[in-house]
Amino acid sequence: MTFTPAQMAATLDSTNLRLDATAADIDQLCREAAVHRFACVMIYPASVPLAARILAGTGLKIGTVIGFPSGRFSTDAKAAEITAAHRAGAHEVDIVMNYPALLEGRAAEVASEVAALTRLAHGNGQLIKVIVETCFLDDARKLAALKICEDAGANFIKTSTGFGTAGAKVADIAAWAAARKTSIALKASGGIKTLADARALIAAGATRLGTSNAAAILAELSGTGAPTNATGSY
């Protein structure tokens, strides 16, 4: 699969969710993203106002995480985060599904939450990606999570937070691509470090990739950098 640097950049959510990230790190992430025209920057909610100031006038999208990384928050708490993120300038929200409830057989509860949060985000004009943490789900529950996201009208279903026991798997993206009944898009995240990783996941059906190595992947594609050995989890 052949991509121009611009085409590859448009698939990448350039991410900094490190626990020790500083304002200077977020500044660098945003300025780098504006140059390369990544799909968005993905940062913690508290960093959204800073990113909004840095990226004002660039047209670059700002994404943030909700209920992160466990998903074990009340629906009201997640809704409050979405609303606050919207007011601060976030265009996209990556919401962690309450996958522990799914594991416990409370699928109807999970579906109700995802539907409510999707309605809220869409009412704000925000794009919503639902993180289901595939490393903790068996194949049947991965497909159940897909159906929940499709029924809710979410824009994306997303593999991972980057804080679980494993990240994005080609097989999971391929299974979702084959099983989906709607136009829901697929985001792979977690452990995407090289151009080969990116290409394999896109070939399987992903149209967004969340990675803390976006610039390195683009440099590898452009021939200006070697394959990265970065150790970031996301």
Q: Is 197 a catalytic residue?
A: no
Dump pLDDT digits (tens) for 151-204: 999 999 999 999 999 999 999 999 999 999 999 999 999 999 999 999 999 999
| pLDDT tens profile 148-165 | 999 999 999 999 999 999
Of 61, 78, 129, 158, the catalytic one is 158
Choose between 222 and 71: higher pLDDT.
71
Residue 221 clears pLDDT 90, i.e. is over it? yes
Q: Which of 78, 129, 187, 193 is catalytic?
A: 187
Q: In angstroms, how far is the first alpha carbon of the chain from the final one?
A: 24
Residue 213 contacts by C-beta under 8 Å, 6 or more apart in sequence? 192, 193, 194, 228, 230, 232
Contact (CB, 8 A) for 70 and 43: no
> Does 232 have pLDDT greater than 60?
no
Percent of the chain with pLDDT over 90: 93
Whether the Cβ atoms of residue 180 and residue 149 lie closer than 8 Å to each other: no
* Topology classification of domain 5-222: TIM Barrel (3.20.20)
94 has catalytic annotation: yes
Tokens of 83: 């609303």
Options 61, 78, 94, 197, the catalytic residue: 94
What is the b/e burial string over 97-128, where b = at least 16 CB atoms within 10 angstroms of the residue's CB?
Answer: bbbebbeeeebeebbebbbebbebbeebebbb
Q: 148, 114 in Cβ contact below 8 A?
A: yes
Q: Whose CA is closest to 93, among 103, 85, 101, 105?
A: 85
Per-residue pLDDT reduced to its tens digit, 128-147: 999 999 999 999 999 999 99
